[in-house]
């Protein structure tokens, strides 16, 4: 049997840093049985027989929060062989309150006097031996941040565990209170062990119901204890719980007076910094500036060459490691030439004015020009395709030369001045001769994993359906996850630095002033901040909120914040609404981005005024640690823990769901039996399983202005992963080669929706506010730890999003003439009235208040 050591302490006392230092990568994370509180265990790096359990950060062992109950139950009944009680040496008065309770639990204790480097820096002195004598347990000076004293404190805990020596604390209460506790210990007799009798006696004196229920005392015993308690309360004119709290702090003050010497009484460096960063007026602007820099750095650096390498160099065709400048110049010349060719072709065969794309005849010529001559003459199909393409091109060129056609294109010079330039047949022929540059000719080109797999499968003559599954499903799914990892690494590195240096705990206080007005605690802001990067770690971050109902409400609203995966949706809708004139619609993108913030505030107000969530927000109490520079190791471990969670949870779900989407889009019955559809057949997707599913659910979205299978299917795939929305639009409109910022895709998307600005706006609102991706939904299910609460959360998100989409379509549509007054307009008015009533109605009494 190994030795089990529990690590206990206040939040922000350095406990996580010590745990990471002691266990390294030998740790595993789960939930305590029956609760959502995180359980972290790890094996000591220098002795695998020693298992260290990191208990939740708590301020006391009173059963007021899930964390306190978990820590208390484990220490009393979980069987740790010893407890390392980590205390912040710069704030002993506050930290020793928990220590005074742990000392009574009847388990060996070692006090880790952490942050001693800051104590020495401040010039203060702590009599370690004297403190050990007063507490009745070993005391070891440590600095978890600097790695000082780590081995000493574990060795002391191992020795204490082997000796099974419980603390013999000198911290005593007033004689009157001690007498009362002794009487209760006598009443308990042999019902509890001698080592825990003082703990149970104090709790019974306080009248704690949990202890009373656990011990199952007789009526006569409870009556005797009540008489002892009543006598002391009458004598000291105070309730028992307040008496014990006061006695603990008096005993702590006595210990501090004997063992601690302060060198100064002025403001510390941390306090001076806090006067600026937590200032009533400066705190919020400073925070916004810091977070703007964090996300700017994560997006600009993470979305640049690093992400390009992840997308192209691993799962894509390949990556050019050298010669980028020359290749980009050649690529620019090729794109200009393609523009000349398209302009000339469309000058003869015309444009599809409704879609602002080349007409079918023009596109046929452009496609024919793109057909390359086959390298192998033995491939009869390829040879035939090339000959047909050449015939099409020849017919076009004969017609163009005969008509002496001239086209006009817009050319922008180096100064950004645009002018028209004529394109004749000779210019067209010159442009056609410009070959697409091969990146391998410009530097070090290494094929990507996707290209290697595709070539290998083609060489092995693998079945077409299996090639499509692997390339379009599996490789694409893994690539989607890989592309986000660089951004996640940078973001979590920076957030880790801010958390470990002590700044993020200040942010919760800054935002508490704002959020309290809407019924939420300042701690609710941290998950919402993280949600702008990804909903998975954001939902996981709600574990820091002690109050269960506040935590549940935060989970229900956090994912309304637009995450990185939702930004392409906003870009797509912005383009569709801009219709080529973005100067008049610059406000569209910011409007939809901040819609999530407004939705959270409105939801917070409405939910707080239901009986389920009614009541004042939980008082916000948090220890502000001293500012300090975190170590590289602690930052990297913090980052890795979050990135690993993203890869495992998001990666697995996206990996599997992409395969499902591929199946639904490529299988169906086109009249010749169920099977793989012919992707070359016109409108083949109309016969797919996805089309059938879309048609089945399209009626739900009809009041929102988009009632065809294409729009419904796009929304469904968005529930799997929000990145799928733009990809699905590209596949359905057959414009998948265009990015979300391309006008061709904008117009194709607008036509797919089948409505005007109101329908497009409603589509965007629903997809931004409804249930998040499968990865985040899985995390919600884990954190809610209840099937009922999971479905309440998903139902609320989808219902709220549907109502918002309904109001946007009906009201905006009425204003623009896109929608006529109908039954659904009346429903939209009723929904708006109900929301306004819920927002402005008085706060209902909480069930606890109704019983008073």
pLDDT tens-digit profile of 43-72? 998 888 999 999 988 888 877 667 788 888
Query: Per mean pLDDT, which range of 21-30, 38-47, 151-160 is the poorest?
Result: 21-30
Which tops the pLDDT comparison, 374 or 475?
374
Q: Does some domain include residue 455?
A: no
- Domain edge (last residue) among 443, 458, 476: 443
Is the domain of 535 the same as that of 643?
A: yes
Token output for 571 = 């870009």
Per-residue pLDDT band for 574 (boundaries 50, 70, 90) equals low
Is the domain of 739 the same as that of 606?
A: yes
Per-residue pLDDT band for 741 (boundaries 50, 70, 90) equals very low
- CATH number for the domain including 78? 3.40.50.300
Query: Per mean pLDDT, which range of 10-24, 115-129, 152-166, 414-428 is the poorest?
Result: 414-428
- CATH number for the domain including 234? 1.10.287.1770
Looking at the DSSP bridge assignments, the partners of residue 421 are: 409
Per-residue pLDDT band for 554 (boundaries 50, 70, 90) equals confident
What's the CA angle centered on 167, arms 166 and 171, to 5 degrees? 155
Q: Does some domain include residue 578?
A: yes
Nearest to 168 by CA among 138, 127, 147, 188: 138
Is the domain of 699 the same as that of 778?
A: yes
Q: Residue 402's pLDDT is what?
A: 84
Is the domain of 506 the same as that of 430?
A: no
Q: What share of the chain is helix, strand, coil (3-state, %, to 5)?
A: 65, 10, 25
Is the domain of 343 the same as that of 246?
A: no
Q: Does some domain include residue 186?
A: yes
Is the domain of 117 the same as that of 230?
A: no
Is the domain of 640 the same as that of 742?
A: yes
Q: Does some domain include residue 489?
A: no
Assess contact for 150 and 18: CB atoms under 8 A.
yes
Per-residue pLDDT band for 255 (boundaries 50, 70, 90) equals very high
pLDDT at 311 over 70: no
Q: Rg for the chain (alpha carbons), in Å?
A: 34
Mean of pLDDT values over 769-774: 87
Query: Per mean pLDDT, which range of 3-7, 464-468, 499-503, 611-615 is the poorest?
Result: 611-615
User: CA–CA separation, 273 vs 261, rounded Å?
Assistant: 24
Q: Residue 582's pLDDT is what?
A: 45
Residues 6+ apart with CB under 8 A from 683: none
Q: Residue 764's pLDDT is what?
A: 85
Is the domain of 438 the same as that of 580?
A: no
Pick the most confident of 81-90, 118-127, 569-578, 686-695.
81-90
pLDDT at 292 over 80: no
Which tops the pLDDT comparison, 354 or 148?
148
Q: Residue 751 CA to chain centroid, in angstroms? A: 33
Is the domain of 181 the same as that of 81?
A: no
Q: Residue 168's pLDDT is what?
A: 87
- Domain edge (last residue) among 111, 141, 163: 163
User: CA–CA separation, 793 vs 613, rounded Å?
Assistant: 13
Bridging pattern class, strands 351-352 and 47-54: unpaired
Pick the most confident of 193-202, 257-266, 638-647, 723-732.
193-202
Q: Which residue has the tokens 């072709």?
A: 345
Mean pLDDT of the chain: 81
pLDDT at 595 over 70: yes
Is the domain of 67 the same as that of 35?
A: yes
pLDDT at 39 over 90: no
Q: Residue 295's pLDDT is what?
A: 67
- Domain edge (last residue) among 163, 197, 230: 163
Is the domain of 12 the same as that of 37?
A: yes
Q: Does some domain include residue 618?
A: yes
C-alpha distances out from residue 850 to 537, 606, 842, 846, Å = 37, 20, 15, 6
| Number of folded domains that form the chain | 4
Cα-flanking dihedrals φ and ψ of residue 395, to 5°? -60, -45
Is the domain of 156 the same as that of 182?
A: no
Which tops the pLDDT comparison, 727 or 538?
538
Mean of pLDDT values over 751-766: 80
Token output for 220 = 């006569």
pLDDT, tens only, 348-399: 888 877 656 788 888 888 888 888 888 777 777 788 888 898 999 898 888 8
Per cent of the chain over pLDDT 70 is 80
User: CA–CA separation, 576 vs 755, rounded Å?
Assistant: 11
Q: Residue 742's pLDDT is what?
A: 46
- Cα pseudo-dihedral 413, 418, 419, 421, rounded to 10: 60
Q: Does some domain include residue 852?
A: no
Which tops the pLDDT comparison, 801 or 519?
801
Range of the domain at 85: 3-163
Cα-flanking dihedrals φ and ψ of residue 668, to 5°? 175, -165
753-766 core/surface letters (b: 16 or more CB in 10 A; e: else)? bebbbbbbbbbbbb
- Cα pseudo-dihedral 595, 596, 600, 601, rounded to 10: -30
Q: Residue 849's pLDDT is what?
A: 46
User: CA–CA separation, 694 vs 716, rounded Å?
Assistant: 8
Per-residue pLDDT band for 625 (boundaries 50, 70, 90) equals low
Q: Does some domain include residue 285?
A: no
Q: Residue 567's pLDDT is what?
A: 67
Cα-flanking dihedrals φ and ψ of residue 433, to 5°? -75, -15
User: CA–CA separation, 276 vs 281, rounded Å?
Assistant: 9
User: CA–CA separation, 295 vs 492, rounded Å?
Assistant: 10
Mean of pLDDT values over 446-463: 85
Token output for 97 = 């309150």
Query: Per mean pLDDT, which range of 62-71, 226-235, 333-342, 800-809 is the poorest?
Result: 62-71
Q: Does some domain include residue 293?
A: no
Count of all residues that appear for the chain in the document: 852
Q: Residue 151's pLDDT is what?
A: 92
Q: Which residue has the tokens 């941040």?
A: 145
């Amino acid at each position: 049997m190994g030795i089990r050591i529990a690590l206990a302490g206040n939040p922000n006392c350095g406990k996580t840093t010590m745990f990471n230092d002691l266990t390294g990568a030998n740790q595993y994370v789960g939930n305590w049985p029956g609760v959502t509180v995180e359980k972290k265990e790890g094996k000591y790096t220098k002795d695998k027989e020693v298992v260290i359990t990191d208990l939740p950060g708590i301020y006391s062992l009173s059963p007021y929060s899930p964390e306190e109950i978990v820590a208390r139950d484990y220490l009393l009944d979980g069987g740790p062989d010893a407890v390392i009680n980590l205390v912040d040496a710069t704030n002993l008065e506050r930290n020793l309150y928990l220590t005074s309770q742990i000392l009574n639990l009847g388990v060996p204790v070692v006090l880790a006097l952490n942050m001693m480097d800051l104590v020495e820096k401040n010039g203060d002195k702590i009599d370690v031996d004297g403190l050990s004598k007063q507490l009745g347990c070993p005391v070891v000076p440590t600095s978890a941040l600097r790695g000082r004293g780590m081995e000493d404190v574990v060795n002391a805990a191992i020795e204490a565990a082997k000796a099974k020596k419980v603390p013999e604390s000198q911290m005593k209460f007033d004689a009157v209170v001690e007498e009362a506790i002794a009487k209760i210990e006598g009443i308990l007799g042999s019902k509890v062990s001698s080592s825990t009798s003082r703990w149970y006696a104090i709790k019974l004196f306080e009248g704690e119901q949990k202890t009373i229920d656990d011990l199952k005392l007789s009526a006569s015993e409870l009556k005797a204890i009540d008489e002892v308690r009543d006598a002391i309360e009458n004598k000291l004119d105070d309730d028992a719980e307040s008496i014990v709290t006061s006695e603990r702090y008096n005993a702590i003050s006595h210990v501090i007076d004997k063992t601690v010497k302060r060198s100064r009484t002025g403001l510390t460096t941390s306090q001076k910094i806090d006067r600026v960063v937590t200032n009533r007026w400066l705190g919020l602007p400073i925070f916004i500036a810091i977070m703007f820099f964090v996300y700017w750095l994560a997006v600009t650096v993470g979305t640049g060459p690093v992400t390009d390498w992840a997308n192209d160099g691993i799962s894509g065709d390949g990556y050019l490691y050298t010669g980028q400048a020359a290749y980009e110049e050649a690529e620019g010349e090729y794109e200009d030439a393609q523009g000349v060719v398209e302009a000339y072709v469309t000058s003869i065969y015309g444009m599809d004015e409704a879609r602002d794309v080349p007409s079918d005849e023009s596109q046929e010529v452009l496609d024919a020009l793109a057909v390359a001559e086959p390298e192998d003459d033995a491939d009869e199909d390829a040879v035939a395709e090339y000959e047909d393409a050449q015939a099409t091109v020849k017919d076009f060129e004969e017609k163009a030369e005969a008509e002496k056609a001239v086209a006009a294109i817009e050319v922008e010079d180096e100064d950004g001045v645009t002018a028209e330039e004529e394109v004749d047949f000779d210019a067209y022929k010159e442009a056609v001769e410009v070959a697409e540059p091969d990146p391998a000719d410009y530097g070090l080109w290494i094929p990507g994993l996707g290209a290697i797999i595709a070539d290998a499968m083609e060489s092995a003559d693998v079945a077409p359906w299996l090639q499509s599954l692997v390339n379009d499903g599996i490789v694409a799914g893994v690539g989607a996850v890989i592309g986000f990892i660089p951004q996640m690494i940078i973001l979590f590195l920076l957030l880790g630095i801010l958390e470990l240096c002590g700044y993020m705990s200040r942010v919760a206080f800054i935002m508490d002033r704002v959020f309290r007005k809407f019924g939420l605690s300042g701690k609710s802001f941290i998950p919402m901040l993280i949600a702008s990067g990804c909903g998975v770690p954001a939902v996981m971050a709600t574990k820091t909120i002690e109050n269960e109902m506040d935590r549940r409400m935060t989970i229900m609203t956090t994912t309304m914040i637009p995450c990185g995966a939702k930004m392409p949706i906003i870009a797509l809708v912005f383009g569709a609404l801009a219709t080529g004139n973005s100067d008049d619609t610059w406000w569209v993108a910011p409007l939809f981005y901040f819609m999530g913030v407004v939705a959270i505030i409105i939801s917070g107000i409405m939910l707080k005024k239901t009986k389920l969530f009614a009541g004042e927000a939980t008082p916000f109490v948090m220890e502000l640690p001293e500012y300090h520079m975190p170590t590289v190791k602690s930052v990297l471990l913090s980052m890795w823990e979050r990135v690993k969670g993203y890869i495992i949870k998001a990666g697995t779900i996206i990996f599997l769901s992409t395969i499902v989407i591929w199946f639904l889009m490529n299988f169906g019955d086109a009249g010749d039996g169920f099977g793989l559809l012919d992707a070359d057949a016109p409108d083949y997707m109309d016969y797919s399983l996805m089309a059938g599913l879309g048609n089945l659910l399209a009626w739900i979205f009809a009041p929102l202005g988009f009632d065809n299978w294409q729009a419904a299917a796009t929304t469904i795939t968005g529930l799997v992963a929000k990145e799928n929305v733009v990809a699905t639009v590209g596949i359905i409109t057959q414009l998948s080669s265009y990015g979300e910022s391309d006008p061709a895709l904008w117009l194709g998307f607008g036509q797919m929706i089948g409505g005007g600005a109101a329908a497009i706006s409603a589509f965007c609102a629903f997809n931004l506010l409804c249930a998040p991706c499968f990865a985040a939904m899985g995390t919600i299910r884990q954190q809610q730890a209840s099937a009922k609460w999971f479905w309440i959360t998903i139902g609320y998100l989808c219902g709220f999003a549907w109502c918002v989409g309904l109001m946007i379509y009906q009201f905006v549509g009425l204003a623009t003439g896109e929608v006529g007054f109908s039954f659904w307009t009346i429903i939209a008015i009723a929904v708006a009235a109900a929301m306004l009533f819920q927002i402005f109605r008085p706060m209902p009494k909480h069930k606890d208040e109704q019983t008073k």
